[in-house]
């Protein structure tokens, strides 16, 4: 494993993520087709967790960070420099994360609705 691969591996297994990786994720979201909005929601959720606005369980944080790092990493199952095919595996990882996070996402969306209702009152 070269140094760049080691760096991404360490990030992938972490429960911490940098603002730079989050920004890279937002920039790469456009390549995810119909998974773009799901991916951007994961980024929104991790930002809310980092800021202390919305607590997430550790396993959910790890799943979200893993998905973000996978998408931003140039080293994955199908490299992103291979057009379309390189983005399909990223979309599959986002789909898997969304599936695993079902109840956590539902709770987060309920929280957002309640927050909006409170703003209107």
Helix (H, G, I), strand (E, B) or coil at 81: coil
Domain holding 35, by residue range, is 3-120
State how far Cα 85 lies from the chain centre. Answer: 19
pTM for the structure as a whole: 0.77
Each residue's pLDDT, cut to its tens digit, for the chain (121 residues) gives: 456 545 654 555 555 788 888 898 898 899 888 999 999 999 999 999 999 999 999 999 999 999 998 888 876 555 555 666 667 788 889 999 999 999 999 999 999 999 999 988 7
Instruction: Give me the number of domains the chain comprises.
Output: 1
């Amino acid at each position: 494993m070269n140094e760049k691969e080691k760096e991404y591996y360490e990030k992938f297994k972490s429960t911490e993520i940098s603002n730079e990786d989050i920004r890279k994720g937002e920039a790469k979201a456009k390549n995810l087709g119909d998974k773009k909005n799901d991916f951007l929601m994961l980024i929104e959720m991790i930002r809310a967790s980092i800021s202390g606005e919305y607590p997430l369980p550790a396993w959910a944080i790890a799943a979200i960070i893993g998905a973000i790092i996978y998408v931003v990493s140039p080293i994955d199952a199908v490299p992103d420099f291979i057009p379309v095919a390189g983005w399909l595996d990223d979309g599959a990882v986002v789909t898997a994360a969304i599936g695993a996070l079902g109840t956590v996402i539902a709770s987060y969306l309920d929280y957002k609705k309640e927050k909006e209702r409170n703003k209107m009152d």
